[in-house]
Chains A and B, each alone.
Chain A
């Protein structure tokens, strides 16, 4: 972690993911026709996360972890969810690959994050911030969960962009 601002990005991502989780659940329940399917969507996410986690752990060159792509990838998935029309007949078929992608990226991200020096410090901050944010959100009315999901998606894309720029700048001298 070379840049101060980049140090906080994982915190933004983890906090954001927890905060957006209830909205994501509401959306997922809406698009799953049955509870079984809802549960299976979650199982798919979990298996993919395990896969993503191990991909990072077994990675040889951990300096080049391309986390900005992970941020942007997750962001794009959330934005896509925001763009999908809810009543579309084929929705479950679209949700399934999205769950795989999201699981894979989150697993990879988590494995990467847990190996950063700031991980434990982030954990404490994470819990506190999430707590306060959820209290805050309890006073807002949910217009539609997809709006929040899409906004979070955009934020993640910005994180990806920021990470790309900052790291790019910082790594330039090394290349010379």
Chain B
């Protein structure tokens, strides 16, 4: 017993001593490390390196300044470009149907004017009206139902494509038609009948199975495709003038995996290339860029195709914005014009070429980056315009365009930074229809000054551009700033008279108003 006790005592003591020695050892190690660190901190080269590393980290993390725009009760309301500031009477956060219905009914009695706002990426005062009430739909954004069998989603109209993608991605589903980014609301997108990279599913309006609408008289109606009153014809591409879209049921498709295929072309080859792509190739989505760099101005193009692989995806996560800073730096370089714009074009070609052969999901094709486009220089603005021409007119149109836009805009006030080409399928649904046949849309990123003469110069150039587009049987897109004349609007949209007549019939008290309507249609 005693021996055993002694043994136990000794082993405990030995263990204790060991732990103690280890602790001392650890402390010595810690002490030595601390001492080394302190020594290091005294070395100017070490402190200098610390500064250099820290500065690099800060540089990389300087946030990109975002445009300041939006709904504000106290000051003036603006949309994306801030070009049309206006005072409104009230902003109502949309939360439930009954409240919205009450507001519309009251407006019919007291003459109040109502506008509808989504994420306000439209640029011509489409979402507000002087002294009016703005319904801010962003809070009306619930996902109501996903039917995996039928491949449909029912969702409130204030939800963004981002919200929808997050909800359907785990089910292996994807949208049929969206813009190339996911930063817009569904209501806002349908009200302009937006288009994007898809080349197989027709227009966005065609992907809606059903919609719940709060009509201008304050009724809540369920509208289907065979609706005898043709509400869809006026609400889609109706710029918020035919009531409030409350929710929609959208057709979905599989979240396919595509292989990216990229190519460089001459502009005069594109028409044939695209027709071939549309009829024969195994391509689901597509877009192209045209050079606006001086030495290859409107001569070179790069195309990006997303080809079917027969594979589908349930797992790949939705991509976040990537490489924003580098893209912003590259675009900023291009913004300088001249040789730097050539450099930017070269970089774009390299970058796009590097994507060749990679795989990507359908959902991820529909959510490209947008933050890198932010531009906040005081006294200047960057705007978008989009011109549509029939596919068969593309080659001649681009040739003639060279006479209108200077190839080197380095010392010009009006600068064209980017032209992206997309397909807009013939639309048989909407009244203000920009695609009476299959069209190619040229999305143009333009920068100009805000002085009176600079705006006048931009207006003249854009009107000339629109004139040329009309001469080639084309149209221009309406969500953007209204540089075009009233005549150009009417020539582009011969359905305007029918639109106005129906507006007066469906909204006899002219409850739904906005600055776009006032400018072009009143």
Q: Would A51 and B62 be within 8 Å (CB), given that A58-B44, A87-B378 are in contact?
A: no
| Chain B residues bordering chain A, tally (CB within 8 A) | 20
Scan residues 38-96 of chain B and give those whose CB is less than 8 A from a CB of chain A: 41-44, 47-48, 50-51, 54-55, 58-59, 61-63, 65
Say whether B55 contacts A100, CB under 8 Å: yes
Q: Does A40 contact B (CB under 8 A)?
A: yes
Say whether A33 contacts B65, CB under 8 Å: yes
Say whether A47 contacts B47, CB under 8 Å: yes
Say whether A55 contacts B51, CB under 8 Å: no
From B41, B50, B63, give the contact of A37 (CB < 8 A).
Answer: B63
Q: Which size bracket describes the interface of A in this complex?
A: 20 to 34
Say whether B65 contacts A48, CB under 8 Å: no
Q: Mark A81-100, 1 if CB is under 8 A from B, else 0.
A: 00000011100110011001
Residues in A with CB closer than 8 Å to B44 are: 51, 54-55, 58
Nearest-Cβ distance from residue A131 to partner chain B, whole angstroms: 33
Say whether A89 contacts B47, CB under 8 Å: no
Nearest-Cβ distance from residue A39 to partner chain B, whole angstroms: 10
Q: Of all chain A residues, which has the CB nearest B376?
A: A89
Question: Bound complex: CA of A54 vs CA of B378, how far in Å?
Answer: 42
Say whether A100 contacts B51, CB under 8 Å: yes
From A44, A89, A103, give the contact of B58 (CB < 8 A).
Answer: A44
Say whether A54 contacts B65, CB under 8 Å: no
Residues in B with CB closer than 8 Å to A33 are: 62-63, 65
Residues in B with CB closer than 8 Å to A26 are: none
Could you give 14 example pairs across A and B, Cβ below 8 Å? A33-B65, A37-B61, A37-B63, A43-B54, A44-B54, A47-B51, A50-B41, A51-B44, A88-B377, A89-B376, A93-B62, A96-B58, A100-B55, A103-B51
Q: Does A34 contact B (CB under 8 A)?
A: yes
Q: Which residue numbers of A lie inside 8 Å of B, CB to CB?
A: 33-34, 37, 40-41, 43-44, 47-48, 50-51, 54-55, 58, 87-89, 92-93, 96-97, 100, 103-104
Question: Bound complex: CA of A109 vs CA of B372, how far in Å?
Answer: 41
From B47, B59, B61, B65, give the contact of A51 (CB < 8 A).
Answer: B47
Residues in A with CB closer than 8 Å to B47 are: 47, 50-51, 54
Residues in A with CB closer than 8 Å to B51 are: 44, 47-48, 51, 100, 103-104
Residues in A with CB closer than 8 Å to B61 are: 37, 40
Residues in B with CB closer than 8 Å to A88 are: 377
Nearest-Cβ distance from residue A96 to partner chain B, whole angstroms: 6
Q: Mark B161-195, 1 if CB is under 8 A from A, else 0.
A: 00000000000000000000000000000000000
Q: Of all chain B residues, which has the CB nearest A91?
A: B65
Residues in B with CB closer than 8 Å to A93 are: 59, 62
Say whether A44 contacts B62, CB under 8 Å: no
Say whether B54 contacts A47, CB under 8 Å: yes
Q: Of all chain A residues, which has the CB nearest B63?
A: A33
Question: Bound complex: CA of A126 vs CA of B125, how far in Å?
Answer: 58
Q: A40-B58, A100-B55 are in contact. List 9 more A-B contacts (CB 8 A).
A: A33-B63, A37-B63, A51-B48, A54-B47, A89-B377, A93-B59, A93-B62, A97-B55, A100-B51
From B41, B54, B59, B65, give the contact of A89 (CB < 8 A).
Answer: B65
Say whether A96 contacts B55, CB under 8 Å: yes
Question: Bound complex: CA of A133 vs CA of B136, how far in Å?
Answer: 51
Question: Bound complex: CA of A134 vs CA of B48, how far in Å?
Answer: 34
Question: Bound complex: CA of A34 vs CA of B64, how far in Å?
Answer: 11
Question: Bound complex: CA of A48 vs CA of B143, how far in Å?
Answer: 52
Residues in A with CB closer than 8 Å to B55 are: 44, 96-97, 100
Residues in A with CB closer than 8 Å to B377 are: 88-89
Residues in A with CB closer than 8 Å to B63 are: 33-34, 37
Question: Bound complex: CA of A104 vs CA of B47, how far in Å?
Answer: 11
Nearest-Cβ distance from residue B56 to partner chain A, whole angstroms: 10
Scan residues 8-66 of chain B and give those whose CB is less than 8 A from a CB of chain A: 41-44, 47-48, 50-51, 54-55, 58-59, 61-63, 65
Residues in A with CB closer than 8 Å to B59 are: 93, 96
Residues in B with CB closer than 8 Å to A47 are: 47, 50-51, 54
Question: Bound complex: CA of A51 vs CA of B45, how far in Å?
Answer: 8
Nearest-Cβ distance from residue B62 to partner chain A, whole angstroms: 5
Question: Bound complex: CA of A97 vs CA of B378, how far in Å?
Answer: 23
Residues in B with CB closer than 8 Å to A34 are: 63
